[in-house]
Chain A
Amino acid sequence: MFDNLTQRLAGVVKNLRGQGRLTEANIQDALREVRVALLEADVALPVVRDFITRVKEKALGQDVLLSLTPGQALIGLVHKELTALMGEQAAPLDFATQPPAVFLMAGLQGAGKTTTCGKLVRVIRERGRKKILLVSCDVYRPAAIEQLKTVAGQAEADFFPSTPGQQPADIARAALDHARRHFYEVLIVDTAGRLHVDEAMMREIQELHRLLNPVETLFVVDAMQGQDAVNTAKAFNEALPLTGVILTKLDGDARGGAALSVRQITGKPIKFAGVGEKLTGIEVFHPERMASRVLGMGDVLTLIEEAHRSVDQQEALKAVQKLKSGKGFDLEDFKTQIQQMKKMGGLSTLVDKLPGAGQVQAGDLAQGERQMRRIEGIINAMTPEERRKPELLKASRKRRIAAGSGVSVQEVNRLLNQFEQARKMMKSLGKGGLAKMMRGMKGMLPGMP
């Protein structure tokens, strides 16, 4: 019903492909498609207009006329311009200050500030800063402080208590003082969601900014936001010297046009993307990859990086060693792989990042995930010895396993066949090629591309 940007632009390429060369007229059609696509992806209208003008200027220029495939050239241009619009490089976090380095979060209600605080702890820790303090200046929303406290607990970071009866500025001052005296390296300050038109609240956060003098003032934006993203981004950018943007809820099916709008209006780098509700659900924002994803080139790079990070290094090492020692790949490893895939956010997250995945139906994915659970169930019904030596499995044992996991013997057989294939694949696999392994596996599940 509702084409996403990837699909729309794929359609544009197809339409263009039938044509010999790029003329003013057929560019016009294609650009109109691009315009509609961008609008449907919630890129703000002024940003879209700007973008179309730029692409058109360049498309009518020399370099395109020299190109042999006009369609590719145009899409290439659109991609290049999209990337340029979203910022060329992933921007790292800034810690360059006398500790504590203060991070101030700002954004509308429900953008995902508090959850993002917890996720940032993890990112900061990965950068080698260990002593992190969290504090909430949200004295308005019921239980907001409680929420941050819980999040801090989950992230295993220290929490500076505050109460709804206090003034945000007092909380900030006390937290900063505490952080200084206890030699915290980083202080993350969560704030209440506020409307950019609420003058009193905007003054409040300006006051907080003045008090805290943060190295990072991060604007948290919901990837689902529509046209109004320009207004909010403009207002927040004018009120605060923002240092970066965090785009949240990018694991949804929104195409995230807001990213382009906010980037264009503020000129500030999008530093991270929030994906999923778990505290591990944060990734460095790669403008180039986002543009690729938008254009249907998939986001394989992010996938691989995620595979490297999410997958338990120990487990992976064990698997590699097993391969090296020639002991072979057993059902236990097979199960571990499935669990690792789940850890990375399940099939839907993975598939979303693969090229051409736009065509996969949600139903197929659900089926795939069900299938994964079934496989896990079957393996769980085996004894440890059977898992290590699948060749032990004869009719009687298979019947027992089928009964134990509530499936039919045929399904047990199917699993064993799949496992055999996987084992063959493992043999041909070079070391360290975990991502390749994942991709190989997906072909075995039903409904996958």
Chain B
Amino acid sequence: MFGFFKSGKPPAPPPEAPSAQPAQVATDPAPARPSWAQRLKAGLAKTRGVLNTPVGDLLRGHPKIDEALYEELETILLTSDMGVAATQHLLDALRARVKRDRLTDSAQLKEALKDLLAELLAPLERRLDVGTARPFIIMLAGVNGAGKTTTIGKLAKRYQSEGRSVLLAAGDTFRAAAHEQLSVWGERNRVEVIGGQGGDPAAVIFDAIQSARARGIDVVLADTAGRLPTQLHLMEEIRKVRRVIQKADPSAPHEVLLVLDANTGQNALNQVQSFGEAIGVTGLVLTKLDGTAKGGVIAALAQRGLSTGQPIPVRYIGVGEGLDDLQPFAAREFVDALFA
């Protein structure tokens, strides 16, 4: 994947989401982009040996459109974790389009599939504007090891570089050394971290919000302990965290981010549903896209969004371990990367 960087030229800047604040768009780290691309390219040069046949190669081997080609496309969609339903949906739509537009060669087929996937993912592309409230309170949740704390570190950096003041609330009072981990992130960004181990997560976050308000902080990032949706008492606990945040500020939380590991398979659907029911997830962060995992499960999520009519947007994707390696999600870019 991401083989489109192979061409060597930096990718065209993604179409900026129309923003009410032009000043903010300007601060969107334009110089960071090529370096991200370079890093990604460097990282992916390593993956090439491990990767399955990229679509480009595959299509070169199949100048004509036949059943074998469809089967190969199915393989690619399935092995990127898109799931059976989304894969079926895309292939059916592709067949319909081939018929409608009388497509005959494989290059056209590839473009058609990319278009269809981009259409499917487009509703997930909605940028997060943290300027709508002050303090803008973001609550993060996810299963164990999804990358919540790391994501918080990166988000803090991002918002700071946009000129906003940030406060971190160490709501993971359960896991060993979670508070220390967040503190290190805080030190690196010179951001204050509120909380300690062993306390009540809701109380810690409540305090953080009070303190943020008193000091006129722009963004509060509230960490929570990782939990599996089957751990009902922990799901109950996170419900309470949300309720308490609401008590501290009736308009909050302004954003509830669910952090998903790109390595996760179809269980991501269960996670989105369970956390959605418990705390009303309003956005997703897809982490660890710098491996060979392709994160295709967001297509499965988009597919389900079609049937429920409420797709949850992917706010950011994590493409590396550096502080700058968290990028806003752009559907077209994602698709281009998927289909080298």
Contact = CB atoms under 8 A, between A and B. Distances in A.
Interface in B281-339: 288, 290-294, 296-297, 304, 321
Contacts of A222: 145, 261, 263-264
Contact of B292 (A114, A115, A228): A228
A65 to B, nearest CB: 30
A109 B288 contact: yes
Given A2-B269, A225-B265, A257-B265, A142 B293 contact: no
A147 B177 contact: yes
A147 B175 contact: yes
A345 B80 CA distance: 34
Interface string A142-176: 11101111110010000000000000000000000
Nearest to A114: B176
Contacts of A81: none
A126 to B, nearest CB: 22
A40 interface: yes
The listed residue with most A CB atoms (<10 A of its CB), out of B43, B144, B178, B185, is: B144
A60 to B, nearest CB: 22
Given A2-B270, A197-B292, A227 B265 contact: yes
B297 A226 contact: yes
A110 B184 contact: no
A223 to B, nearest CB: 8
B46 A44 contact: no
B280 interface: no
B7 interface: no
A151 B35 CA distance: 38
Given A228-B81, A253-B230, A143 B265 contact: no
Given A149-B177, A150-B177, A231-B292, A226 B81 contact: yes
A198 interface: yes
Given A1-B304, A143-B183, A254-B267, A39 B230 contact: no
A40 B292 contact: no
Contacts of B265: 42, 224-227, 229, 254, 257-258
Interface stretch (A67-75, A328-336, A362-370): A362-370
Contacts of B178: 143, 147
A146 B177 contact: yes
Interface in B129-181: 143-147, 150, 153, 174-178, 180-181
A36 interface: yes
Nearest to A368: B232
B43 A225 contact: no
A251 B180 contact: no
Contacts of B274: 253, 362
A228 B232 contact: no
Contacts of B236: 366
A277 B144 contact: yes
B81 A235 contact: no
B53 interface: no
A45 interface: yes
Interface residues on A, range: 35 or more
A40 B84 contact: yes
B108 interface: no
A112 B79 contact: no
A234 interface: yes
Nearest to B229: A253
A340 interface: no
Interface string B235-273: 010000000000000000000000001011111111001
A111 interface: yes
A224 B143 contact: yes
B3 interface: no
A40 B81 CA distance: 9
Given A197-B50, A198-B46, A277-B174, A227 B180 contact: no
A251 B231 contact: yes
Contacts of A42: 81, 265-267
A408 to B, nearest CB: 23
Contacts of A251: 228, 230-231
A228 B293 contact: yes
A252 interface: yes
A140 B153 CA distance: 14
A142 B176 contact: no
B143 A252 contact: yes
The listed residue with most A CB atoms (<10 A of its CB), out of B145, B174, B288, is: B145
Nearest to B85: A40
Contacts of B233: 346, 369
Contacts of B175: 147, 277
Nearest to B184: A142
A1 B273 contact: yes
A232 interface: yes
A181 interface: no
A341 interface: no
B221 to A, nearest CB: 15
A352 interface: yes
A183 B261 CA distance: 41
A357 to B, nearest CB: 12
B147 A110 contact: yes
Given A146-B180, A147-B176, A249 B293 contact: no
B287 to A, nearest CB: 8
A239 to B, nearest CB: 11
Contacts of B293: 226-228, 231
Nearest to A38: B84
Contact of B263 (A2, A154, A226, A235): A226
A80 interface: no
B50 A231 contact: yes
A150 B50 contact: no
A299 B81 CA distance: 28
A227 B81 contact: yes
Contacts of B270: 2, 253-254
Interface in B99-146: 143-146
Contacts of A255: 267
A146 B175 CA distance: 11
B177 A227 contact: no
B27 interface: no
Given A2-B269, A109-B288, A225-B263, 12 more contacts: A39-B78, A141-B150, A143-B177, A195-B288, A226-B264, A226-B297, A227-B80, A227-B265, A227-B293, A228-B294, A253-B229, A346-B233
15 contacts: A2-B270, A42-B267, A109-B145, A143-B177, A147-B176, A196-B292, A222-B261, A224-B263, A225-B263, A227-B296, A231-B291, A249-B143, A249-B145, A254-B267, A362-B232
Interface of A: 1-2, 36, 39-42, 44-45, 108-112, 114-115, 140-144, 146-151, 154, 195-199, 222, 224-229, 231-232, 234-235, 249, 251-255, 257-258, 276-277, 346, 348-349, 352, 362, 365-366, 369
Lowest 6 CB-CB distances: which A-B pairs, in order?
A226-B265, A110-B145, A42-B265, A142-B184, A150-B176, A143-B180
